[in-house]
Chain A
């Protein structure tokens, strides 16, 4: 079922600008250049803060419409982080406001890919929720990926990136996608939502950021092994 999260008029007619780029302009090549700068070498204060002065706020214009069953429990209306307020934000900043994407957002930062993502002329992100990451990786495995396996982490992220900014409707029309890790996957309509690669369900789609679309999904893609069961009893 489609859920309208704002009362503003729907603007379905807005064309999605999605210039196609040759795959060899993908992230793999450019990522190497920034690898050395991934670590947050802080001297006095950390480098992660965007402060509370980010542009995303309550003064946003009429909201574009994100759809999906999860949208209504994410910041909506005029709340900080509402979809309309993110449309002018760089994609890595927009990710910081989508409250179910803290793991994915941290991974983007840790991978050093944020600059590359900003530089793309069009980008689509299939972003798994925090719950999806919890179902996929143990805490120890996730820490290891973030802290000491940058190549695997980037490969994992590329499995969730598509060249060009595509609405979900465009993806469904195309019927299949190739993620930046080179994997091909199907996109099948499922009511107003879609299933990707068979069993990844979209939950809240068509967030817009500068040059980008973000679709929240419920499953981690890519070919890393599932390790979540390894710390069932982790405590404290």
Chain B
């Protein structure tokens, strides 16, 4: 059962003005612009207590439930400052009980209007199809576009905003707008993380307060949060929200915003698929759907993205899309479900969606619901989809869809601009809520990620090549009618006996590939490096141990059973299990699993040891070796690791004795030294890269020194 923590609203408060207009037959509003209705007796079944609260790009209507009501219609009328109608009344919304959790307290986010206009709203119940009397009207002026038009920076507007949604923001305008924010705000800088096939920059906006940390490693240390705004070029709504959010993050003096940016770092990739956005295609310029490529990384865009993930290590993410099913909710969402995703990551992602988004959606009137929502068979376990790839990289995250059309519940969206604004501002609401969730639950997210990394690195449990964690129906009343399909793994796609590693041949590892965009093709070696996986070369083989944080993803790419594999590597199983008495001299590539080793361990030059779930009585020494991977072991004795050439990884071990890492090249990568308990000193010196603890600090009884002083 999922626990649901109370959700804080901090940043979201920025978007909700305090000028909410309240009117009822018995209470007059303090707002001078509010027309105070006469004291009339309520008619039977007339909606009472209508309250309108202005958000950014939407107005939340809340009212008292009418007994027996089947649904409610929301009517909006443009009015002038004196509340005289200036246009026709239009039914803009239809509230149905499947919109929200606590549906005895109905709310509806009316949206689509141009921000800043003034309206009058009324709501009426329908019993069956019989229309009941309208509520007393409530009028209010909606929030204008955020940012003082006379203040530098704040005055920036996107092409989408200035054209009132008639045009989406072009690539050129995005570059100019984000460069201007970078120029005018210390809080934000634009980092180019790669180029598209057509050589468009793929930018990432990095936000921190008072200024973002200087390096990717320093940003990773803040456990940052990531929004990927636009992977399908013909689904641009979320991207516009990201660009507006960027302006607020950069310039708002709201304490909630500053708190978010002080606590952590916000990473926003507005356009991973710039070529597709420009051409209005779903895929990139090679016609590849990039959201079917985040594991295989055949394309330069996805390759750049996973490289960024490796370097910046976000702990939570949202991935923006639009969805053509007109019957679904406003905001279909879904957690990473591939069964190799650690349970902690799945659960916390569910908590984010159901515990935060469903609850806040019911407060603000947005219809968040499980992807599929009204019965569509979508949302499975393909690891090529970013939602799942991120989960397999131990990132709490969700898919976000924006329903493409207005559908039955938003009948006024034949107007394209209304439709675009509803989508854009609903995405802005979601991303703002996401940042609040991340802020409020930072330690819980980090905890889930830490447990997941320890679990994955331990290489325990079965491997599933395709199949999903079940997303159970939210207890009634729940938003939407159905959870996504169960998608249990087929028996032939389950491997109970997980190998220790995969061995790739020279040809497999470094050979030319025929997949990927012409002129941008990469080898398996390059792709695994982009993922950040550690590889050791022993003899003529390249070994990829599963004792790594992304253990759940490794077999999907390297096992012959992988449904969308990169290459069919050879499974390598442990050769040392059970009790081993006497010295262990490791030559070649050796896996030790579930063993009890009594005696010193010496990893010879050029050799590699992978040890998991084992107990060692005696020192462990690796000098000039190819690699040392240790996860979930107990070691009574010192660990001495020197001049290791390809990879060093020490995760979640208990060590009674000193740990010393000196002069390791480690393939040019940072050695992993994470979540260990060391009864003794921890010293690191002269390693090519400073070791990293992956934000899982070590418990060290003795002094920490040298490059490991901060671990």
User: Which residues of A are in contact with B by a Cβ distance under 8 Å?
Assistant: 39-52, 70, 72-75, 79-81, 96-97, 99-100, 102-103, 105-106, 109-110, 134, 139-140, 142-144, 146-148, 233-236
Contact = CB atoms under 8 A, between A and B. Distances in A.
A70 B672 CA distance: 61
Interface stretch (B135-143, B274-282, B424-432): B274-282
B379 interface: yes
A149 to B, nearest CB: 10
28 contacts: A40-B198, A40-B279, A41-B198, A42-B198, A42-B199, A46-B274, A49-B171, A51-B170, A70-B414, A72-B415, A73-B414, A73-B416, A80-B166, A97-B167, A99-B417, A100-B416, A109-B279, A134-B324, A143-B282, A146-B279, A147-B279, A147-B281, A148-B287, A233-B377, A235-B323, A235-B371, A235-B376, A236-B387
A46 B379 contact: no
A99 B286 CA distance: 26
Contact of B198 (A39, A52, A146): A39
A233 B283 contact: no
B250 interface: no
A45 B172 contact: yes
Contacts of A75: 164, 166, 417
B213 to A, nearest CB: 27
Chain A CB count within 10 A is highest, among B199, B201, B401, for B199
Interface string B155-182: 0011100111111001111011000000
Contacts of A52: 157-159, 162-163, 167, 173
B171 A233 contact: no
Contact of B170 (A50, A143, A144): A50
Contacts of B166: 75, 79-81, 97, 99
B200 A45 contact: yes
Given A49-B173, A147-B281, A236-B291, 13 more contacts: A52-B173, A74-B416, A75-B166, A81-B163, A99-B166, A106-B279, A143-B281, A143-B283, A146-B279, A233-B377, A235-B376, A236-B378, A236-B387
A48 B278 contact: yes
Contacts of B385: 236
B399 interface: yes
A51 B280 contact: no
B172 A102 contact: no
A contact face: mostly helix, strand, loop, or mixed? loop
Contacts of B324: 134, 234
B424 to A, nearest CB: 13
A169 B275 CA distance: 40
Nearest to B236: A102
Contacts of A70: 414
A79 B164 contact: yes
Nearest to B171: A46
Contacts of B280: 102-103, 105-106, 146
B615 interface: no
Contact of B281 (A81, A105, A146): A146
A49 B286 CA distance: 21
A52 B282 CA distance: 24
A69 to B, nearest CB: 9
Contacts of A50: 167, 170
- 3 tightest Cβ-Cβ pairs between the two chains A and B: A49-B172, A49-B170, A46-B171
A99 B416 contact: yes
A51 B163 contact: no
Nearest to B172: A49
B285 interface: yes
A67 to B, nearest CB: 17
A52 B399 CA distance: 31
B594 to A, nearest CB: 39
B201 A44 contact: yes
B contact face: mostly helix, strand, loop, or mixed? loop
A43 B171 CA distance: 13
Contacts of A48: 170-172, 278-279
B321 interface: yes
Interface residues of B, number: 51
Contacts of B401: 236
B200 A42 contact: yes
B367 to A, nearest CB: 18
A46 B159 contact: no
Interface string B609-630: 0000000000000000000000
A97 B175 CA distance: 21
B172 A51 contact: yes
B390 to A, nearest CB: 13
B183 to A, nearest CB: 16
A43 B172 CA distance: 12
Contacts of A102: 234, 280
Contacts of A140: 282-283, 287, 289
A80 B162 contact: yes
Contacts of B283: 140, 143, 147
Contacts of B399: 236
Contact of A46 (B200, B291, B418, B420): B200
A126 to B, nearest CB: 19
Contacts of A146: 279-281
A28 B641 CA distance: 70
B291 to A, nearest CB: 5
Contacts of A41: 198-199
A72 B376 CA distance: 32
A147 B273 CA distance: 14
Contact of A235 (B171, B285, B379): B379
Nearest to A107: B280
Nearest to A106: B280
Contacts of A46: 170-172, 175, 198, 200, 274, 278
A81 B287 contact: no
A80 B416 CA distance: 13
Contacts of A81: 163, 166-167
A39 to B, nearest CB: 7
B90 to A, nearest CB: 11
Contacts of A109: 279
Contacts of A139: 234, 282
A163 to B, nearest CB: 27
A233 B376 contact: yes
Contact of A96 (B167, B173, B275, B371): B167
A49 B164 CA distance: 17
A45 B171 contact: yes
A14 B63 CA distance: 53
Contacts of A144: 287
A74 B414 CA distance: 9
A58 to B, nearest CB: 9
Contacts of A40: 198, 275, 278-279
A43 B378 CA distance: 38
A130 to B, nearest CB: 9
A148 B285 CA distance: 9
A39 B279 CA distance: 10
Contacts of B278: 40, 46-48
Interface in B305-334: 321, 323-324
A70 B283 CA distance: 30
Nearest to B399: A236
A74 B274 CA distance: 27
Nearest to B291: A236
A62 to B, nearest CB: 20
A51 B173 contact: yes
A169 B287 CA distance: 41
Contact of B287 (A45, A74, A147, A236): A147
Contact of B159 (A45, A51, A105, A142): A51
A140 to B, nearest CB: 8
Nearest to A129: B416
A24 to B, nearest CB: 31
Given A43-B199, A73-B416, A134-B324, A147 B285 contact: yes
Contacts of B201: 44-45
A230 to B, nearest CB: 13
Contacts of B378: 233, 235-236
Contact of B164 (A80, A105, A236): A80
